[in-house]
A and B are shown apart, each in its own frame.
Chain A
Amino acid sequence: MTSPAPPAPATLPLGDDALILSHRLGEWAGHAPVLEEEVALANIALDLLGQARALYAGLSDLLGSEDEIAFLREERAFRNCQLTEQPNGDFAHTIVRQLFFSTYQQPLFAQLSPVLPLAAKAVRETAYHRDHAEQWTLRLGDGTEESHTRTQRAADTLWRYTGELFQPVEGLEVDWPGLAEEWHASIGDVFARAGLTVPAGPSEGAWSAGAGRQGLHTEPFGLLLAEMQHLHRSHPGAAW
């Protein structure tokens, strides 16, 4: 890609996506269904946190230190998509959220990596996250009646947060329609193999469509920020 580096704020949504989804995955610690998944979910959370920190580092001239960016912004200043802030729900809900997100993030990073302050490693990481989510979607979709029901319900619930992913982010040179097409093809394929139905409902909320990228979030997000930011904010200026 020969385009110049995108203007700095354009990468903020990508950093916020990574930070917020990492935070959600961190909530699983000690709750995972099997010990191997304690390790796997923590891996993904750590990868995403590393990506967020790298992206924030590239914004320090404009927005300050990584901790100022993460802990001192108000809710409306966050640009993550609403999908990433959705509560964990059960394991199927977490897996489908990850599948939807990683199937988006991996080709996005692949397209943007030459101009992002991310090592090629980040693209490899997202490929692994995507593989992990796909494998589990296949197991859960095809496993038992209960796992199938739970996974289908997760897909139906989360579907409305997927349309936002393909709203162009100003300053990022991406083939957005192509990205959306690739995403739908991939999800369709995984769902078919898992015996799941691609939801038919709208992929955007009637009121809040595309809003995370403009700083409009869902109710659970305020609680997430309250928890994440409270200690840092309770000690203004302290170093940790």
Chain B
Amino acid sequence: MTPVTSPPRGRAAGADGPPDGSGPGLEAEDVQAAFDAAVAADERIEPRDWMPDTYRSTLVRQIAQHAHSEIIGMQPEANWITRAPSLRRKAILMAKVQDEAGHGLYLYGAAETLGTSRDELLDKLHAGRQKYSSIFNYPTLTWADVGAIGWLVDGAAITNQVPLCRCSYGPYARAMVRICKEESFHQRQGYELLLALTRGTEAQRAMAQDAVDRWWWPSLMMFGPPDDESSHSAQSMAWKIKRHSNDELRQRFVDICVPQAEALGVTLPDPELRWNEERGHWDFGAIDWQEFREVLKGNGPCNEQRLHRRRTAHENGAWVREAAAAHAAKHTATHATGHTADHAADRTAADRDDRVEPAAAGPAQPNTAPDTAPDTAPDGAGAPSASRSTRSRA
């Protein structure tokens, strides 16, 4: 990966210049103007570029929450790995949960380019001082929930995240290119899992419908509060960290899902769902924002369980991390901590291509292509994981 794709612009005076401070420093107004111009021109801000403190802190907050969601999101699905009803599904599910760990790694890496370490962010998550997506505070009660999560939750994530591939901050945008490719693969697999159920026995059909009934509304909540209540949106849109409003994205998602539900043979649990000729969109019923706020506050069905499990894994792993650090300290650089681990992570996506069969009959993901135009994929396109999704889509 090339961390910097363009020469740094508008570096703060002396901050990154020669040690004697004699570099061509820029005045405060100049760097602000250079930043604003770059954002206006849809250029990427890179780690060494000057950026406003609030831009940096907004990004760290958003990337951290996203990274935390990836790793907490492993739990509800990992819940079914040991019970997957066929070896093919077991392989697909293990690979999916592994992908989410990989997404966590990319995102914590993107946050590191802003000067915030993974450890620091994990501590905040464990202390309950940073959030993760509330959707993962709902339980996976049956096997069909694995399909519903893939179809709806990964589907909503894609709708939210595809525009982030054009986010003004380079490392985040590039991470999102890689992630979106894998998420769209997950979405197709989830759809295909549900399709097998709706074409199966009576009991399997009932299982699929029940899962969709439980996951539909929480999925709509994933786009966040309605536009008139969303506190961070305006500034994020101005900075091009965010490109569409919550309500716009939610509508886009509903419009995508309705025909897919029909093709699946499941009913979406909303009696007010109907096509609005005038708007050219599907109308849908009112969301229970009271439930949203309760889950956000920590009163969802699994908030405590998810955080407890995360903390426990971290605490139980402390002696392992200490041992690796102690061993590394005793030896030379060739035995550096995490060498094997890095090797493992590198190997994941590259070698796994042929392991998981492609989803047979997932829906097309019409919103993926336009937003991941070539200009958004400078180094992400070279990611080995991309080839897996591409190959399986073929």
Contacts and interface: CB of A to CB of B under 8 A. Distances in A.
A201 B289 CA distance: 63
Contacts of B91: 46, 49-50, 53
A36 B105 contact: yes
Q: Is the interface of B mostly helix, strand, loop or mixed?
A: helix
Contacts, number: 179
Interface in A87-123: 90-91
A16 to B, nearest CB: 13
B101 A238 contact: no
Interface in A178-208: none
B201 A66 contact: no
Given A36-B341, A40-B341, 15 more contacts: A26-B94, A30-B75, A33-B314, A33-B317, A38-B74, A46-B94, A53-B91, A71-B85, A91-B317, A142-B327, A143-B323, A147-B323, A150-B319, A228-B83, A239-B200
B273 interface: no
A91 B343 CA distance: 19
A234 to B, nearest CB: 8
A52 B108 CA distance: 34
B86 interface: yes
A73 interface: no
Interface stretch (B41-49, B237-245, B246-254, B344-352): B344-352
B6 interface: no
Contacts of B196: 239-240
B338 interface: yes
B104 interface: yes
Contacts of A232: 85-86
A1 interface: no
Interface in B86-126: 86-91, 94-95, 97-98, 101-102, 104-105, 108, 118
B347 A43 contact: yes
Interface of A: 19, 23, 26-27, 29-40, 42-43, 45-47, 49-50, 52-53, 56, 66-67, 70-71, 90-91, 128, 131-132, 135-136, 138-140, 142-144, 146-147, 150, 227-228, 230-232, 235, 237-240
A29 B320 contact: no
A68 B98 CA distance: 26
B179 interface: no
Contacts of A37: 320, 341, 344
Best-surrounded residue of A37, A42, A142, A144 (most CB of chain B within 10 A): A42
B345 A39 contact: yes
Contacts of A29: 74, 78, 81, 94, 97-98
Contact of B323 (A26, A45, A144): A144
Given A30-B78, A228-B82, A91 B355 contact: no
Interface in B312-336: 312-314, 316-328, 330, 335
B29 interface: no
A40 B75 contact: no
B98 A143 contact: no
Interface string B141-156: 0010000000000000
Nearest to B322: A144
A23 B97 CA distance: 14
A136 to B, nearest CB: 7
Given A26-B81, A238-B200, A240-B86, A139 B105 contact: no
A187 to B, nearest CB: 18
B293 interface: no
A35 B327 contact: no
B87 A38 contact: no
Contact of A46 (B88, B102, B345, B355): B355
B391 to A, nearest CB: 16
11 contacts: A26-B94, A33-B313, A33-B317, A39-B98, A46-B98, A49-B91, A49-B94, A131-B340, A138-B335, A144-B326, A146-B322
Contacts of A143: 322-327
Nearest to A194: B327
B263 interface: no
A227 B98 contact: no
Contacts of A227: 82-83
Interface in B150-204: 193, 196-197, 200-201, 203-204
Interface string B255-288: 0000000000000000000000000000000000
Contacts of A239: 196, 200
Contacts of A131: 340
Give the 3 A-B CB pairs with smallest separation, nearest first: A33-B317, A143-B323, A36-B341
A50 B355 contact: yes
Contact of B105 (A26, A39, A46, A147): A39
Contacts of B82: 23, 26-27, 227-228
B340 A135 contact: yes
A31 B344 contact: no
Contacts of B118: 35
A45 B74 contact: no
A135 B339 contact: yes
A147 B322 contact: yes
B267 to A, nearest CB: 22
A35 B105 contact: yes
Please indicate which of the listed interface residues A38, A147, A227 has the most CB atoms of chain B within 10 Å of its own CB. Answer: A38
Contacts of B356: 46
A26 B342 contact: no
A39 B101 contact: yes
B89 A136 contact: no
A46 B317 contact: no
B98 A43 contact: yes
